[in-house]
Amino acid sequence: MGTVRRVATSAVATALVVAATACGGTSGESAETIRIGLIANLDGPFEEPGSELRDGFQLYLDMRDGMLGGHPVELLFADEGYESEVAVESAVTMLEQDGVSAITGIINGGNVTALLPLLTEHRVPLVGSLGRPELDDVTWVWNTNLLSVEPGIAMAPFVHDQVDGEVYAIGPDFQGGRDELRGFTETFLELGGELANPDGETATFTPFPDTTDFTPYLAEIAATDAVAVYCFWGAGNSVDFVTQYAESPISHLPLYAAGFVTDGEILKQQGDTAAGIYNALNYSPDLDNAANREFVAAWYAEYPDRVPNSIVMASYDAAAVLDRAIAAAGTNPTPEEINEAIDQLGQIDSPRGPWRFAEHTHAPIQKWYLRQVRTDGRALANVVVSELTTLGD
């Protein structure tokens, strides 16, 4: 499949370079190598989703002999950090020194905004694969996962129908967290629901990434009239919050969540403390379609002890998008030609089911699923209960 080596790309970023060479065929022998830059967290609370972004993209490459659109690929992996300056510095190196044809990854949606001027200046597309905010100019920005407001928008009607009383909404204070909670609170209030939060209009936010002890916040919830709680967290914070919730004075209150709270390997760490949680997301590994069966089988063949989740799936889809776009863009396409080809792709055949990019957001038009943490066979899983809605159009 090729060789793997590490090279320094900046003072704050280390690049994992996958020098993938063709295993046969004239197209691989004659086509120029294309460089793709993947920016994600290398350590800290978002280290796990960072590795999931890397491994989902790499899985797609491995299934296709290290090729995208008939070209050998060098995959450069650089640190996103927890301040926008780190992500920007990594992107500058990739764009100005490494000559990447596209960037992918990005965990903190706020960093998408920070990268916009660079993408526009260099006319290079970003095919992000986690959540991001709504943007006025998406010319060079595409997203294969979701807009950060959407899990809450999808979940709010279900919570409104299930809960007779006030709901307390809580999450981390960063761009993605604020957007995730805003999607829920605005939709829930529009439906006539009531929030138990102090101002009755917005969620409560905890300092990010430093908050690991949620006991004071759980005590605050206990002092309100809340009869249920809605939350969003990511990675390690999800484990801390859910396990502490189960041991708190409000453990009897139903907990509803964005799907990231219990997704993938996080659920293994939460164990029985997550049982019963209803959550909304665009993917579950038990979806019954041909693309998902192929994806899940390939994933478990490579990682038998890790559960595939929406982050892995969306990064896999980002590679699929680039594969088709590079193939359609010509013999040796420029980044601008790749961007134009993405705009013409139409339907994407994905493990989540078919989807396509919305013209005004460059994010997926896709189905959303209600999932519940239940025992499935011998282990807990996010079992699909029903379809909630289709968002993005």
pLDDT, tens digit (0-9, with 9 covering 90-100), for 125-165: 999 999 999 999 999 999 999 999 999 999 999 999 999 99
* Cα–Cα nearest to 212, from 244, 253, 254: 244
| Token pair recorded at residue 372 | 């519940």
Look up the pTM and report it.
0.90
* 277, 372 contact by CB (below 8 A): yes
pLDDT for the residue numbered 111 = 95
pLDDT of residue 48: 92
Question: Residue 45: what pLDDT?
Answer: 84
Report the C-alpha gap between 318 and 39 in whole angstroms.
Answer: 13
pLDDT score at 392: 94
| Residue 94 to residue 88: CA distance in whole angstroms | 10
183-225 pLDDT, tens digit per residue, is 999 999 999 999 999 999 999 999 988 899 999 999 999 999 9
| Residue 30, pLDDT score | 59
Q: Which domains does the chain have, with CATH numbers?
A: 3-145+288-362 (3.40.50.2300), 150-281+369-391 (3.40.50.2300)
Using 50, 70 and 90 to split pLDDT, how confident is the model at 235? confident
Q: For residues 277 and 261, give the distance between their C-alpha atoms in angstroms, rounded to a whole number.
A: 9
Alpha helix stretches (DSSP H) within the chain? 26-30, 47-63, 84-93, 109-122, 150-162, 175-190, 215-222, 236-246, 265-270, 290-302, 310-328, 335-342
Q: In the predicted model, is pLDDT for residue 261 greater than 90?
A: yes
Give 294-327 pLDDT, tens digit per residue.
Answer: 999 999 999 999 999 999 999 999 999 999 999 9
